[in-house]
Structure 1
Amino acid sequence: MHSETDRADRSEAVFLDRARAYAQDIPIDVDLDAIQWTVSHRARRRAGSCRYDSDSGAVTVRLAWDAYREHGWDEMAAVIRHELVHAWEFQQFGESGHGARFRDKADEIDAPRHCSPFSEPRLRLVCTAEDCDWSADRFRASVTVTEPNTRRCGVCGARYRVEHVATGRSWRTNEGYEQARKQIGDEW
């Protein structure tokens, strides 16, 4: 008899095997043998990521399991193409971004510039200026969320407030964050 963990591990292994095999068919000059493929259970915003160790030259492509479960194989195939463009840039140039070089290579292999979100944000930053409609979604309690009074709007430079999406509670200071976190409790 196999445990739930054994089945999940096998499913992830099958998914990663499929990702590696799919990458072989993408017409991009990447040393696939030099790429490590992993699954992330923590990712909430990015369906994939590509990390580069400049000391060793190692490239790791991490694919979000929840994104795969939410969107399925076709969407993840697009994510894999996207991450392969990053791997190509890292291997060829030692750096990667989403600039013109990335866009040109992504167009060659039909890779999206951005990937679809697969989870709802927990938090939202909202500008407090009346004439500014800037907002930004957040998934974790970063310094931007926990100490909003030390940061400013990304468009107009005004202060912003942080909203907890599920409860509607908001704050503008670290003290406000601490209070909201206590009040929200298990719903956080």
Structure 2
Amino acid sequence: MASDSTGAPDPDTPEDLLAWARTYAGTVDIDVDLDSVDWTVSKHARRRAGACRYDPDHGVTIVLSWHSYQAHGWAEVAATVRHELVHAWEFQRFGESGHGPRFKQQADAVDAPRHCEPFADPRYLLRCRDDDCDWSARRYRASKTVTDPGRYRCGDCGDRYVVEHADSGRTWADDAGYEQVRAELGDDW
């Protein structure tokens, strides 16, 4: 397995990335039974750097994104490994995981980011309508929060939000607006 001039891993294949990630996971000071964690690389994931899946019958699987590694390099993968190990710790101890206070406390203890760096451009942007609120969210597909935003509220202040089609800048605030913008953009959607 290759290293760059600084000694950081420089894997050429997903298999090499997994080998480095497994080795690195063993150096992270967290009480996770690594022998019962499965590892895999996704060549399809384009929105998230990693994932931690849990099945009560089969245990924990950590998935790393090959595209994230190619976009951001090893330092970001190492941060993602720490993040996913916190999820694995929660799953192994509590049978559930999220990004709440327990996660945040454990993530801080291992210097894991609470959220991983995005490496793909969103298709939609959600923004609060309240000028005093900075809440926003990125979306990559036309979920219900995108197609019918009138049914949902801002994640911080509770006000309504608006959705923007990232490529065109067109916005809408309800399902009728979504349908209208989609029809008007046609092939440019």
Normalised-by-shorter TM-score class: 0.7 to 0.9
Cα distance in 1 between the residues matched to 2:21 and 2:115: 19
Mean CA deviation greater in 133-142 or 84-93 = 133-142
Deviation digits for residues 68-123 of structure 1, max 9, x if unmatched? 11110111011101111111121122122333433333333332222222222221
Residue among 22, 27, 42 paired with 2:24: 22
Supply the AA of the counterpart residue of 1:184: L
Which amino acid in the other structure matches residue 81 of structure 1?
R
Q: TM-score, normalised by structure 2?
A: 0.80
What residue is the counterpart of 1:12 in the other structure? 14
The equivalent of 2:59 in structure 1 is 58
Residue 6 of structure 2 corresponds to none
Deviation for aligned residue 1:166:
1.4
Give identity over the alignment, percent. Answer: 59
> Aligned with 2:154: secondary structure?
coil
What pairs with 1:62-101 in structure 2 (closer than 5 Å)? 62-101=63-102
CA pair 180-39 structure 1, distance change in 2 beyond 3 A: farther
Unaligned runs of 5+ in 1: 1-9
Map 1:1-188 → 2, pairs under 5 A:
11-54=13-56, 56-188=57-189
SS of the residue corresponding to residue 29 of structure 1 reads: coil
Secondary structure class of the residue paired with 1:59 = strand
When the two structures are superposed, what TM-score results if normalisation uses the length of structure 1? 0.81
- Cα RMSD (Å): 2.3
Report the alpha carbon displacement of residue 138 of structure 1 after superposing the two structures with TM: 1.6
Match of 2:8 in 1: none
Q: Which has the higher helix share?
A: 1
Task: Extract unaligned runs of 5+ from structure 2.
Answer: 1-11
Shift of 1:185: 4.2
**How many angstroms apart in 2 are the aligned matches of 1:158 and 1:30?**
40
